[in-house]
Structure 1
Amino acid sequence: MAWDEWEQLKADAQSRRQAGATHMQLNQLAAPDGGGGSSPRGDLTVRQKDLAGIGSAAHDLFNEFSGCSDYARLSSMKAAGGLRSEGFAIGAALDHVAERWIDQVQTLLDACAHISNHLRYTANQHAADESYIAGTLSSISQLDQGFDERKGS
């Protein structure tokens, strides 16, 4: 490429940028396998075992945290009541913290339940999709077999 040609390309690019034109230019073709990432297949894969593990962990966290958080809440409320009855202003503040604790715990428990339920639903839906696809493909192969028999192959 000659120097003048390079200068002209730079000037053209600058004028397009100033005009607000947007575009994309590829410097090479995509790999034949459609890749470009580090994955040899280029697809996101999730196995049932992975989904079940995440759902189980969310369910366990829901069950265990529910009990532990109640212990912390009850202890805090008891301490707040004791402080208040002794005339300490910090008792009301601790009671406020315990109230906020209840809100935060409920948010976490709702999220855990949502994750667990969604993953259970996802696993069931994928199983139903697989069954539907297998049934559809099976009926196509039976149809093909019928055509082959009629054709005399």
Structure 2
Amino acid sequence: MNLVVTQDDLGAVGHEAYLLHERLREGADIAGAGSDRSGAGSTAQAARELSSRHMTMGGELLTTLSVWDSQVKTVLQMCAHLSNHLDYSKRSYAQNDRHIEDSLRHRDGTAVPVSEISTYVR
């Protein structure tokens, strides 16, 4: 069984990956949310405050923030890679289609008839 993918399919999946990337980038950035002058987000600020009061939860909160941030960045990279790859594939397939179409024309620009094309595959 061969996989058949249309350019519309590639475009739709690539677009959804882009939209997911944007929504995730805006909504999942708990590391940067509520940043202070030093650039520390409100979660990191809370962790520092807890740690300064000798509460072990401060360190655990920083660890959780670090793991979360790392995982969000990984998913963002995957979405970006998928979106970029499918955009490239869509352009590449379109170029290949144009090349094939151009190669199946006579010098005067008219299309080669199917009967003539079939002689190439015998």
Normalised by the size of structure 2, how large is the TM-score? 0.73
Q: Deviations over 1:17-53 (max 9, x none)?
A: xxxxxxxxxxxxxxxxxxxxxxxxx532212221111
After superposition, where does 1:1-153 map in structure 2 within 5 Å? 42-70=1-29, 72-73=30-31, 74-139=41-106
- Deviation of residue 105 (structure 1)? 1.3
Which of structures 1 and 2 has the bigger CA Rg? 1
Q: Pick closer, same or farther for the CA change 1:102–1:108 going to 2, 3 Å.
A: same
Gaps of 5+ in 2: 32-40, 114-122
- Deviation of residue 106 (structure 1)? 1.3
Greater helix share, 1 or 2? Answer: 1
Q: Deviations over 1:122-143 (max 9, x none)?
A: 000000000000010113886x
**Post-superposition, which runs of at least 4 consecutive aligned residues in structure 1 deviate over 3 A?**
139-142
Distance in 2, matches of 1:75 and 1:66, equals 17
- Percent of counterpart pairs with the same letter? 31
Gaps of 5+ in 1: 1-41, 146-153
Distance in 2, matches of 1:102 and 1:139, equals 58
Distance in 2, matches of 1:69 and 1:90, equals 22
